[in-house]
Structure 1
Amino acid sequence: MASEQDYADFVDVMREELIQNVASVMRLADRLLQMKHIDKEAYENIRSERPNQKMMRELFTSLNNNTSKAAFCEALQDQDPFLLKDLEEKYRRKKAVEITGSQREEDDTRAKLQERWQSNSKKYKTEFERLLEDPELKSLGNGKLFLCTKPEYKLGSGADGTQVYIGMRDDGTEVAVKRTIKDAHQKLKDEMSILRDPKLEHKNIVKYLDFTEDQDFAYLGLQLCEYHFEEYKEELDQDTLKKVTQEVLLGLQALHNAGIIHRDIKPSNILIDVEGNTRLADFGVSRMLTQGASTVHTLRAGTPRWEATEILNGKADSTCRYKTSTDIQVAGMLAYYILSAGNHPFGTGSEIEENIRKGNYQQDKITDVEAKDLIEKMIAREPQARLSVNESVEHPYFWNDKRRDTFLRIVGDKEPVQKYSSATSQLLEAVKKYTKFSGWKSKV
């Protein structure tokens, strides 16, 4: 045995055989006391016991780390090398049986996973084929998630040490597995608690599938998507970019209607699933509003260049006031980014945050008048001047031809359109229904 860990495993596995076969317990205790691996009180407790088996059990209560267990083995080697050699042989045979049984079990599990595999992803199909054949594929925690952390299965990583891999549930569902170290896994638990809300079962929000832990890591199993928006945007026409923008807002609408503030809206948190649906992701810093409240008071969250005016204008060492309107301004920045092929409405580089503070923006990279109107009303400097998420998804920019035609048929040829003060109740009702967010005359 080459290491302290090997000796410790030996002592743990062969505990009962050692208790039954070690003869001169006090000689071992003398050695361990001399080397300071047990204290005087433990030594006296061992000496007070009879027979040898009870003395050994008492001695084992003091072997509480790998170093002391290794020291015990070294002392036994000096005292009774033949016994140690005999028990080491038995230990190796036990481990060989365990490994064989474990390998057989892993092979059976892999075969069952291959049978259950629900092939869905087009982009990662080849990787899943390799994963299911990989001997290093392991079950995690509760046995419901399977993962291999080789680089070829890695999807990405986060600033806090989080790693994301392709993986599989025990029912054969393909998943993305977020892994983080146990000492820093509270964000992962926060994300799980948000996504488990049944109100977030929505086609524009990434689905929660599983959560488990082991000794070192926590794992969150999420719906596997095909692309980040950044990978996807280059080949899209304006109609598809409009669809992406609308679906981001529909996902945000589901969040806000559930009383949740995202707090970290940005391009890398926009994913595209295998069916082409846009899904809002990464809820590690999201927060639930308490019943009746409109504000969450917390330390600053979010990502540089993707924070609202009121957050940037707050003091760095104080709590910030997050509202749904905070999300809306950043979602407006993201809408411009999507529709302009990757530009920020508040400029570039280091000037962005200062421009957000001052409310200095430009929209010269897009030409659609209705898109500009939507974004202008979302990124307004004052929170109370911004659209709500419900008003944003109802904006005429997203109207289809049928809805636009219906509106124009109702109001377009009526005299009160030019004479607002004499508008009929029918006209006003139509205006109220179809233009909730701003002056109706500009939409005709």
Structure 2
Amino acid sequence: MPIIDKLYSNSNLTGEEYSKILRTTTRQAQMRELLNTVKSGGSAVKSALYKALKEYEPYLIQDLKGSFSQAENVKQLNESHHQKVGTEELQNGTERRKNDIIRWNQSSVKYRSKIEELQKDSSRKRVGNIYFSRSNNYKIGSGGTGTVYVGLKEDGTEVAIKRIIKDQQESKYFENELKHLQDLNLESKNIVRYVDLAEDEDFYYLALQLCEYDMEEYRKNLHKEEQKEKALRRIVKEILLGLKVLHRAGVIHRDIKPGNVLIGIKNSFIKVMLHFVFKVTYKLCNILSTDSGKIARPADFGLSRKLEEGRSTVHTARAGTIGWEATEILNQDAGYKQSSDIQVCQISLYNVIRKS
């Protein structure tokens, strides 16, 4: 991460600390190591981190400067609420049930009311570390490989839960998608993030980063013409950056379309950093990143395939969605290339821009 490199180049991290952070295998693990280092490094390291944030995340810092008073008010309200809840629990003399939702780190605006309902819904269930309900009230998507519900992880993370039935065909798509989601070469802010996995007797439950919109829905929510132009330019760049991550890892998506490009809140790393290091509340961190921190990401890798070493083409039966296919795919002998993704990406973007 650029922030880590910046701290090291300015001698705010020792070589040993820098190496220890980079030895971790995931972005989340790097974040934990950096947080521990910064928290124990004193005011000088915190100051250096703040300067690095100003350089790489300036819009967050600009909002932050005028918002500490709001953070303090939110903190006081939270403390008052927790004291009240604690008193009520003692008075009732009851223990929390196993499937009670204890934490919720709010990020989503679109699905906030649904998650609030989920917290109170007695029909919800818990599988592994995931809370959700099969009620259609919480259904947020569906496709050829499963139904998607809004839910929560035990640690409070908001998630989109893809439910996949355990049969031979669907399990094949699921295993393929999971393989790509867990590939460290695809861990990027430009790719929808894998969060967790659970299963019961009949279904797999794949927990993914919760995003606000797909590309088509996002376009409909852009009202001002200047806002549309700026946002659509950004979306073009971000989708291509996502495809660049896939293609560098030798992966062909094979099902690019507006419904498989999701728009979600970014900078969860920065929000956690602000919370733990500068004592800014989670609620304020979410306020700071909601409007300015959305990013377009390719999603749904059930049909994706990895190129064999030294090859540029994948030959399989015809896949993808009719109407969203590259011209060479119509000739079934041509096979799938990385250029196939690029061409369908262009079609998707043209479709969205033409309707704007």
TM-score, scaled relative to structure 1: 0.49
Considering only CA atoms, is the larger Rg found in Structure 1 or Structure 2?
Answer: 1
| C-alpha contact 2:262 2:298 (8 A) present in aligned 1 | yes
Going from structure 1 to structure 2, the CA distance change for 1:291 and 1:106 (only over 3 Å counts) comes to: farther
Residue 339 of structure 1: how far off its partner (Å) = 2.6
Residue 238 of structure 1: how far off its partner (Å) = 1.1
After superposition, residues 246-261 of structure 1 pair within 5 angstroms as 246-261=237-252
Name the structure 2 match of 1:107: 97
Name the structure 1 match of 2:314: 296
Name the structure 2 match of 1:66: none
Name the structure 1 match of 2:177: 191
Name the structure 2 match of 1:167: 151
The letter for the 2-side match of 1:129 is E
Between the two proteins, the alignment pairs up a number of residues equal to 229
4+ residue stretches of structure 1 with deviation over 4 A? none
The letter for the 2-side match of 1:157 is S
| C-alpha contact 1:242 1:339 (8 A) present in aligned 2 | no
Residue 338 of structure 1: how far off its partner (Å) = 3.0
* Percent identity of paired positions between Structure 1 and Structure 2: 48
Counterparts of 2:95 and 2:309, CA distance in 1: 49
**CA deviation profile, 1:318-349 (whole Å, cap 9, x unmatched):** xx61111111211121232233226xxxxxxx
Residue 120 of structure 1: how far off its partner (Å) = 1.1
Question: Helix, strand or coil: the match of 2:196?
Answer: strand
Residue number among 293, 305, 329 corresponding to 1:311 in the alignment: 329
The letter for the 2-side match of 1:272 is I
Name the structure 1 match of 2:228: 237
Counterparts of 2:347 and 2:139, CA distance in 1: 30
Counterparts of 1:205 and 1:341, CA distance in 2: 25
**CA deviation profile, 1:171-221 (whole Å, cap 9, x unmatched):** 111100000210122212211110111121212210011122211111111
Question: Helix, strand or coil: the match of 2:162?
Answer: strand
- The RMSD of aligned alpha carbons is 1.7
The letter for the 1-side match of 2:348 is L
Residue 109 of structure 1: how far off its partner (Å) = 3.9
Counterparts of 1:336 and 1:118, CA distance in 2: 36
Question: Helix, strand or coil: the match of 2:319?
Answer: coil
The letter for the 1-side match of 2:122 is P
Name the structure 1 match of 2:206: 220
Counterparts of 2:180 and 2:323, CA distance in 1: 25
Name the structure 2 match of 1:325: 339
| C-alpha contact 1:267 1:334 (8 A) present in aligned 2 | yes
Question: Helix, strand or coil: the match of 1:296?
Answer: coil
Name the structure 1 match of 2:117: 130
| C-alpha contact 1:201 1:207 (8 A) present in aligned 2 | yes
Residue 108 of structure 1: how far off its partner (Å) = 4.5
Counterparts of 1:105 and 1:165, CA distance in 2: 28
The letter for the 2-side match of 1:158 is G
Going from structure 1 to structure 2, the CA distance change for 1:119 and 1:339 (only over 3 Å counts) comes to: same
> In the alignment, does 2:254 pair up with 1:269?
no
Name the structure 2 match of 1:360: none
Name the structure 2 match of 1:287: 305
| C-alpha contact 1:270 1:278 (8 A) present in aligned 2 | yes
Going from structure 1 to structure 2, the CA distance change for 1:105 and 1:163 (only over 3 Å counts) comes to: farther
**CA deviation profile, 1:295-320 (whole Å, cap 9, x unmatched):** 111111111111111211226xxxx6
Counterparts of 2:99 and 2:126, CA distance in 1: 9
**CA deviation profile, 1:221-279 (whole Å, cap 9, x unmatched):** 10000111111103152121111111111100000011100000001111111331111
Counterparts of 2:95 and 2:161, CA distance in 1: 23
> In the alignment, does 2:223 pair up with 1:209?
no
Counterparts of 2:259 and 2:241, CA distance in 1: 17
Counterparts of 1:106 and 1:222, CA distance in 2: 27
Name the structure 2 match of 1:441: none
Residue number among 110, 135, 141 corresponding to 1:150 in the alignment: 135
The letter for the 1-side match of 2:159 is V
Residue 144 of structure 1: how far off its partner (Å) = 1.5
The letter for the 2-side match of 1:121 is S
The letter for the 2-side match of 1:165 is Y
Q: Determine which structure has greater relative contact order: mean sequence separation of CA pairs < 8 Å that are 6+ residues apart, divided by chain length.
A: 2
Name the structure 2 match of 1:118: 105
